[in-house]
Each structure stands twice: as structure tokens, then as C-alpha cells.
């Protein structure tokens, strides 16, 4: 069984756990880590920063880009997430990119292959592709002139006359780095959150930075905000004390069920809804699991195939004893309180950014927040998505 920290390392940062979802995946220790992350962020925004934790902005870039030196032959490469396949997929020539990809993805990977060697990258680092020079636009939004780029869902807007806009205009590509990897082979590499961009060689062709937030002096929580967050975190602690450790451990040992619960919860997240009636939510979860495997069984052509799906369903449903169901309802209550505290902290953090963020709609631009933030424990090596 993997610990939460091992789970994160094994995922090679192609997946990152939301702070509230550690309740599902991490057992008792996972809940403690989530509470610690939220308390640490509260303390950072109170000005009580110990230096053991860091915070980074999660940029909404695409595609994810890996770059560096192939430990097998010491050649420079770029890659997408296939880098950690059993047979690592890396690209060292434009022809290799064209043979495996097409369209916008191929264009961006070829630009990365052309310009990223100028940074003299040592080891392997991962980032998000934000723009090429052809993606940059000058636009007026709410009467202000911005330099904009739109890598994925969020439109990033920089005041057109700012020094930052001048730097971006000079660049051929823009990438924000967030993860370093170390190891003697791709298979053995371990993720370390953060990239030492000061060690990279400067290049006017590459607008390159890390995602770390360094100066939070203008983000201090008011006493009222602190009291509200303290109240929510206190309620988190009280609920945690009531939840049976055996239920948390049983779910931690059943990662398939944990993923199903997260998937079900995310159907509400995508609709912008927060789960409030947690008792009803637990009942709906059971119905969701039954329905999911009924549909899977219907796809199977043989009785044996159908029986396998029903067996999987029945094995998962064994978890929902009266005791476990009561504890699961409290776990949903715990997640809700964590989300409430998280959203208050995020609303404060959104005031930090040098770039404005918008969603492009049919009626124009709508103000939105950053995609999220990542809380990093430098000592423990954990990183949780806010």
C-alpha cells in the first residue's frame, strides 16, 4: 500500500491531489496533512511564515512540457506526459515530434525543442506551455489595454505598457516551471516541487519563470478573516475526531473506491455546486456505483463478462456497512469544511497576481480567479492542490 507521499511521487506530478481529497486517499495521515496545509497557509497569510512551506500558483497552461537531459544518452529532449511510460516517449528532433503528434501540440513541442536548449537545463524539469509569439494579442478589456494569451481555459492579461508585457513581447515562447525530477532513469525519477530558475541561463527567446509566490506582504489576513478561517478549521478538527480511523484506513486501502468517490464528487464540482446534504450524497454515491457497473455489465457480450462487472460492484459495495456509511457522511462534512476554508484563503491569494485572469464568453470577458494554488511542504516533500 502506498502512503500519500509515495502516491504523489509515483504519479510523477501528472496527477496532483486536491487538499480535501486527501481525506479519501491518505487515511488518518492524509487528513492530518490536509489540515496542516490549510493551517500553514493561514499562518503564511498572517505573516507567521516558518520557511518550511512554500506556495505556488497553478497556471492554466497547455500542453504540459517536460525538458532536459536524457539520462540514457545525455541528449537534450522535450516530452509530454508519455515520458513516464514503460517505454519513455521523448523527442530529440522535429521529425520525431511530427511522427508522433500533429497540429498545435506538434507546433508547440517543436518550438520548445528549438528554444529551450538556450536555458542550459540540467536534469529534467516540468512546466506548462503558456504562449508562443503568435498567440499574443493586444486587446481592450473593460477600457484597459492588455497583452493577452489564452493557453487553455483561462485568458491571462498583462497591462500592455508594463515591463512584464515588454519582456513577454520579446519572447518566442513562454513557460512556467513547477517540478524538478532526479534519478538515473525515467522510471526511477522522483518529483521535487519547485524549479531553481535562477540556475537556468537567461534567454530573450524564452519567457521562463517558476510558479512560486515569494512576497505575500500585501496579502495579510484581517482579524475578521482570520477568525472565520480559524472557526472553520476548528470545526474540521472536531469532525476529524469523530471519524473512525478504521473507516479511513479501509478507504485508504481501497484506492479504486476512493477514485470512484472522487469522480462522483467531481460531477458536482464541474457544475459549480458544493455538496451540502451529505447524507443524501452518500445515498446518491451508492446509486451511482450500482448504475456505473450496471452500464459496464450491459456492454459485455458474455455472461462471464457481465458477472465480472457485478462481482466488482458487489466487492465495492461491501464497504458501505452502517458504520462506514456514517463515517463517510462525516468525511463529506469534513471535506465541505475544508473547502470553505480553502475558498476563503484562495480569495485572498487571488489579489496577489501580476496578471489579470478572465474567461472568454460569447458576451465578452468575465473576470475569474487563478486556476489554483499548490501548497508545498519543503521538509516532508508533499504538495497539495488548493
Structure confidence by residue, pLDDT tens digits, 276-300: 899 999 999 999 999 999 999 999 9
pLDDT at 231 (0 to 100): 92
Tens of pLDDT, residue by residue over 302-346, are 999 999 999 999 999 999 999 999 999 999 999 999 989 888 887
**Strand 76-79, strand 64-69: pairing:** antiparallel
Contact by Cβ (8 Å): 233, 336: no
Q: Which residue, among 179, 178, 170, 177, has the nearest Cα to 203 in the 3D structure?
A: 170
> What mean pLDDT comes out for the span 110-116?
97
pLDDT at 8 (0 to 100): 31
Tens of pLDDT, residue by residue over 251-273, are 999 999 999 999 999 898 878 78
57, β-bridge pairs: 373
pLDDT over 60 (residue 39):
yes
pLDDT over 60 (residue 5):
no
Tens of pLDDT, residue by residue over 154-184, are 888 888 998 989 999 999 999 988 889 988 8
Burial class, 79, CB count within 10 angstroms (exposed 0-12 / middle 13-18 / buried 19+):
buried
Read off φ and ψ for residue 352, nearest 5 degrees: -75, -35
pLDDT at 56 (0 to 100): 55
pLDDT over 80 (residue 376):
no
pLDDT over 90 (residue 78):
yes
Contact by Cβ (8 Å): 181, 126: yes
Q: Which residue, among 374, 346, 349, 355, has the nearest Cα to 150 in the 3D structure?
A: 355
pLDDT at 171 (0 to 100): 96
356: confidence class by pLDDT, cuts 50, 70, 90: low
pLDDT at 75 (0 to 100): 95
Tens of pLDDT, residue by residue over 127-136, are 999 999 999 9
pLDDT at 379 (0 to 100): 36
pLDDT over 70 (residue 58):
no
- Contacts of residue 304, Cβ cutoff 8 Å, sequence gap at least 6: none
Helix (H) or strand (E) run with residue 141 in it: strand 137-141
pLDDT at 55 (0 to 100): 56
> What mean pLDDT comes out for the span 33-59?
69
Amino acid at each position: 500500500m502506498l502512503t500519500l507521499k509515495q502516491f504523489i511521487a509515483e504519479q510523477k506530478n501528472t496527477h496532483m491531489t486536491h487538499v480535501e481529497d486527501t481525506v479519501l486517499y491518505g487515511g488518518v495521515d492524509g487528513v492530518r496533512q490536509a489540515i496542516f496545509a490549510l493551517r500553514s497557509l493561514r499562518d503564511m497569510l498572517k505573516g507567521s511564515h516558518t520557511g518550511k512551506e512554500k506556495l505556488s500558483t497553478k497556471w492554466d497552461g497547455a500542453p504540459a512540457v517536460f525538458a532536459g537531459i536524457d539520462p540514457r544518452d545525455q541528449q537534450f529532449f522535450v516530452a509530454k506526459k508519455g515520458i513516464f511510460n514503460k517505454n519513455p516517449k521523448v523527442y530529440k528532433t522535429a521529425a520525431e515530434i511530427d511522427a508522433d503528434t500533429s497540429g498545435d501540440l506538434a507546433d508547440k513541442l517543436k518550438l520548445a525543442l528549438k528554444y529551450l536548449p538556450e536555458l542550459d537545463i540540467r536534469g529534467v524539469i516540468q512546466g506548462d506551455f503558456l504562449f508562443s509569439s503568435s498567440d499574443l494579442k493586444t486587446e481592450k478589456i473593460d477600457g484597459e489595454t492588455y497583452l493577452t494569451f489564452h493557453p487553455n481555459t483561462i485568458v491571462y492579461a498583462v497591462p500592455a505598457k508594463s515591463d512584464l508585457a515588454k519582456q513577454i513581447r520579446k519572447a518566442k515562447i513562454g513557460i512556467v516551471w513547477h517540478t524538478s525530477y532526479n534519478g538515473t532513469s525515467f522510471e526511477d525519477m522522483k518529483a521535487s516541487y519547485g524549479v531553481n530558475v535562477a540556475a537556468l541561463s537567461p534567454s530573450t527567446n524564452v519567457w521562463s519563470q517558476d510558479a512560486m509566490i515569494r512576497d505575500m506582504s500585501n496579502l495579510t489576513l484581517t482579524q475578521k478573516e482570520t477568525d472565520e478561517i480559524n472557526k472553520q478549521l476548528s470545526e474540521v478538527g472536531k469532525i476529524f475526531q469523530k471519524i473512525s480511523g478504521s473507516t479511513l484506513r479501509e478507504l485508504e486501502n481501497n484506492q479504486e473506491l476512493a477514485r470512484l468517490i472522487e469522480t462522483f464528487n467531481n460531477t458536482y464540482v464541474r457544475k459549480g455546486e458544493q455538496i451540502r446534504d451529505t447524507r443524501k450524497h452518500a445515498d446518491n454515491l451508492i446509486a451511482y456505483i450500482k448504475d456505473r457497473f450496471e452500464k459496464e455489465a450491459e456492454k459485455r457480450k458474455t455472461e462471464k463478462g457481465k458477472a465480472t462487472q457485478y462481482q466488482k460492484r458487489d466487492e465495492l459495495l461491501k464497504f458501505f456497512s452502517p458504520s462506514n456509511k456514517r463515517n463517510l457522511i462525516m468525511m463529506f462534512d469534513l471535506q465541505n469544511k475544508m473547502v470553505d476554508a480553502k475558498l476563503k484563503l484562495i480569495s485572498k491569494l487571488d489579489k496577489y497576481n501580476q496578471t489579470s485572469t478572465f474567461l472568454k464568453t460569447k458576451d465578452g470577458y468575465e473576470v475569474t480567479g487563478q486556476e489554483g494554488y499548490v501548497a508545498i511542504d519543503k521538509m516532508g516533500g508533499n504538495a497539495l492542490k488548493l
